[in-house]
Amino acid sequence: MKTSPWIALVSLLALAFTVATSLSSRADIWSKRSKSNNFFGVIFGDGRKLFANQFFTMADVYFHSGYYPSIFDKNSAEQKEIISASHGAKETEEDEKKEDFLGQPKDWIDAFGRHFRLTEHVHLEQGNEREMLPWLRLAADLDPQKIETYTVGAFFLREHLGKTNEAEAFLREGFHNNPENSELLFELGRLYQDSADVTRARNVWELGVKKFLALDDAGKKENKLVFDQLAVNLGRLEDAAGNFDQAIKWLRAAQSVSPVPGELQIQIDAIQKKLAAPASVPATK
Amino acid sequence: MDPETTNVIEVKCLTVRYPKPGLKQVFVTAVNQLALAVHHGEVFGFLGPNGAGKTTTMNVLLGFVPPTSGTASLFGIDVRQPIARQRIGYLPELTYYYKFLTAEELLRFYAKIFGLSRAETDQRIAKLIKLVGLEHASKRPIKSYSKGMQQRVGLAQALINNPDLLILDEPTSGLDPLGRMKVREIIQRLKDEGKTVFFSSHELGEVEAICDRVAIVHEGQLKAVGTVAEISAGHANLERAFLEVVGYQSTCQP
Amino acid sequence: MNKIVALAGVVIKELYRRKDFYVLFVLTALLTVAAGMVNFFNDDKIIRIVKDVCLMLIWVSALIIAIVTTARQIPAEREARTLFPLLAKPVSRGQVLAGKFLGCWLATGVALVVFYFFFAIITGSREHIWPWAVYFQAMWLQWFMLAIVIAMVLLGSLYFAAPSSTSTISFILVVGMLGLGSHLNTLALQQPEPMQSLLAGIYFAMPHLEWFDLRDFVVYDQKLIAWPAFALATVYAVVWTGIFLLLAWFGFRRKNLST
């Protein structure tokens, strides 16, 4: 029997469509990867988080203009220095500059090879911090649940590059992907505070506290430092706004988790003195 | 050294042994105590059944394989010296030349290997392209050539240095009758120009038609050497003589 | 020398008549331009990631060109039997090897010049600076590193049966040398004996290809490396290339080449 190859081809195509129709509903149960709205999610699945960590590290490498320890070098725990820098830890930044992960050359090969390695510890500055942004963007795309990416990115966008709108959008994107996270709300509040939008800062910080407590009540262990920061900043904001009672309330709440409760007590005492004195600053709330 | 009196090819007590594939300590003798001399200006046929040692002998002459013992020389120069190959042309069996080059570029490349001047190269290329009948295709990449055309390019490259000795390995293998005739004509023309031609072939009719002398090797040893008439004496033709020399016995009863 | 140059000429013709180079160049150009067009936080001054991507593609492309082109030279000559009419001419096996090496190396050099010119145009158009001396140092050392790689692959191609196996093994070796070369001594110290001595031995005996990678200097706008060190690295590459070519010649000169 002689069959036209065209008939065979059409038959196979028809069969493929028929089977596809039947399989389409079942395939959804097998894997959610293809349904991901994230391109990287489709390609890498959960493996994308590994890339995200690497890209976040790349941002740090760029921050140090390539002077960075490899996984084989000593003191590799020094990684993620951008996090400390982004939290304004100037002393740590200076200390870290003094440290030399390369150490003394181990042999003549190592000594000669240093001619071809970057050996100067520098940090990006004067707007060149922008060069880190692509890696942070990619890290956020690969792992939308990695909070540090948003906080670090927003810090550099806001503090060093003057891109407040972009920083806000990035943090909001992070909050959209992590609606229960209070750290992002803290960063968002800082951004509003810097923009002198006290009301919005207060709102997001209070929301942050609410989210934190909700998770705490649910038994999910969260970073207590975040609550400390939220409460302390709310306390200072209320203090500046003349809402001394509120300020004391927040600082007392912070004392319960703060590593330096004594410092907070000094601030509380100062506010209480102001409270005892006649009011000079009108309340804004 | 007078080229007229020196043997163009001289092989003395040549023995070549190969280690057996996979067994380094076991050797196979491909050529055994072979002695041969090819004179200036003759067309010499090198005959033998498959596995007789023809190709191995040629490989030694061309320096591809070192002799285990004995000597081989071209124009009186040891074959291990690259300069021994300055005056020879070689056409291997079934070679697929650099397919990204044109015939003209291929010939130009080989001319550079011989250190020919540009003017001489241009002149030789024009002459050879015409000789092998590739005028219409000389600027086309070799990848577009038929098998016969490739063999003709091969012949042209073998002649690029105007060699005094031409070594041809199965030159008509795989060619159509017209191609064979063309190759035969070229060999005849080279003979008329006083060149020496040394070639192996299974086409005994062809050998009979163009060779001055032939040698028959079998199992690595030289079994017969002489003019076609001397070898064929007492036999119907060269083919019958060849079959007797190699000890062939027909299994078909009349 | 004319014979070696003639042999090299054929290799160069092969490179520019095959599609490999054009495909790799177009791919590099497309990916670099695509990286340059991505908008990151509305900042159009971002350039380092574009440089990084482009240089990485240049390195990968140059390695592919060098390794794949070299790996097929001798095996292809044997397979197509062109080695026989070639060696039947007054050319020594050493000259064949030298010609093949020179051809592959020059062909890779031409490819590198094209790639780096593209790189300079792309980055210069955004930064409006052209640090030619740094580009020269980076390209020169990369080219000399490729000389070591080409000589090494040529040696491998005499022993491995197929060009694909030579290419694969060469890629693994080169990537290993580039990635681990400077860390083997550190790794050795963390290992028990006899692994420690073995790794330390490899560290001192291997060619240190990682020295020839100056991408970081280009990406992070660092100053030039010291010219004496640069010259010494060039000499180092020449020595290692010579070692591999000599080893290849030792293997090739006595090799039985039966038609």
Q: Does residue A137 surpass a pLDDT of 50?
A: yes
CB contact C255 to B (< 8 Å): no
Residues in chain A closer than 8 A to C34 (CB atoms)? none
Residue C220: which of A65, A106, A134 has the nearest Cβ? A65
pLDDT of residue C138: 94
pLDDT in tens, A244-271: 887 888 888 788 777 777 887 888 888 8
Closest-CA residue of B relative to C8 is B109
Asked whether B238 and B232 are in contact (CB, 8 A), the reply is: yes
Which residue of C6, C88, C256 is in closest CB contact with B109?
C6
Q: Does residue A32 register a pLDDT over 80?
A: no
State the pLDDT confidence band at A78, using cuts at 50, 70 and 90: very low
**In contact, C185 and A109? CB cutoff 8 Å:** yes
Asked if the Cβ–Cβ distance from C41 to A133 is below 8 Å, we say: yes
**DSSP, residue by residue, A52-93:** HHHHHHHHHHHHTTT----TTSTTGGG--HHHHHHTT-HHHH
- Average pLDDT, integer, range B42-69: 86
User: Is C226 contained in some domain?
Assistant: yes
Residue with tokens 């020594």: C92
B116 CA to chain C: closest CA distance, Å?
10
- Lookup: tokens for A244: 């001394």
pLDDT at A79: 45
Task: Choose the closest CB to A157 out of C41, C45, C217.
Answer: C41
Residue in chain B closest to C10 (alpha carbons) equals B109
Q: What integer pLDDT is reported at residue B207 of this predicted model? A: 83
Determine the pLDDT at residue B110. Answer: 92
C192: containing domain: 2-254
Beta-sheet pairing, B9-20 with B23-38? antiparallel
In a domain, C259, yes or no: no
- Residues 164 through 203 of chain C touching chain B, CB cutoff 8 Å: none
In a domain, C218, yes or no: yes
Q: Look at A75-79, B159-163, C80-84 and tell me which has the smallest mean pLDDT.
A: A75-79
3-class DSSP string for A140-177: HHHCCCCHHHHHHHHHHHHHHCCCHHHHHHHHHHHHHH
Mean pLDDT along residues A186-202: 86
pLDDT digits (tens, 9 = 90+) for C48-68: 888 999 999 999 999 999 999
- Do chain B and A touch: 3 or more Cβ pairs under 8 angstroms? no
Q: Which of A72, A118, A163 sits opposite C183 (nearest CB)?
A: A72
Min distance A223 CA to chain C CA atoms (Å): 29
Q: Pick the residue with more confidence: B41 or A75?
A: B41
Q: Which residues of A113-134 are buried (b: 16+ CB within 10 A; e: fewer)?
A: bbebbbeebebbeeebbbbbbb
What pLDDT shows up at residue A33? 61
With an 8 Å Cβ cutoff, is C77 touching chain B?
A: no
pLDDT in tens, B86-113: 888 888 877 778 888 999 999 999 999 8
In this structure, is residue C139 part of a structural domain? yes
Model confidence pLDDT, tens digit, residues B186-240 = 888 888 888 889 988 887 888 888 888 888 888 888 888 888 888 877 777 777 7
Smallest Cβ–Cβ distance between B114 and the set C17, C90, C257 belongs to C90
Average pLDDT over residues A30-41: 64
> Where does residue A65 fall: left (phi above 0), alpha (psi -120 to 50 degrees), or beta otherwise?
left
Q: For chain A, which residues lie within 8 Å of any Cβ of chain C, measuring from their own Cβ?
A: 62, 65-66, 70, 72-73, 106-107, 109-110, 112-113, 115-118, 120, 127, 130-131, 133-135, 137, 157, 161, 163, 166, 170
Query: What pLDDT, on a 0 to 100 scale, did the predictor assign at position B136?
Result: 87
For the ranges C217-221, C236-240, C249-253, the one whose mean pLDDT is highest: C236-240
Question: The tokens of B101 are what?
Answer: 């080059």
pLDDT per residue over C118-153, tens digit each? 999 988 888 888 888 999 999 999 999 999 999 999
If one counts the domains in chain C, the total is 1
What's the complex ipTM? 0.82
Angle at B52 between CA B47 and CA B54, to 5 degrees: 55
Q: What is the mean pLDDT of residues B173-182?
A: 78
Higher pLDDT, A74 or C210: C210
Instruction: Compute the average pLDDT of residues C80-101.
Output: 89
In a domain, C18, yes or no: yes
Residue C100 lies in a domain: yes
- Provide the edge-to-edge strand list for the sheet that holds B43-47: B88-91, B165-169, B196-200, B43-47, B213-218, B221-227
Is the distance from CB of A51 to CB of A57 less than 8 angstroms? no
Instruction: Please write the tens of the pLDDT for every residue from A210-248.
Output: 888 877 776 666 677 888 888 888 888 888 878 888 788
- Which other chains touch chain A, taking contact as 3+ CB pairs less than 8 Å apart? C
Residue C87 in any domain: the answer is yes
pLDDT at position C221, please? 82
- Residue C224, chain B, CB below 8 Å: the answer is no
**Which residues of C fall within a CB distance of 8 Å from B94?**
81
Residue C23 lies in a domain: yes
Looking at chain A, the whole-number percentage of residues with pLDDT higher than 70 is 79
In this predicted structure, the answer to whether residue A85 has a pLDDT above a threshold of 70 is no
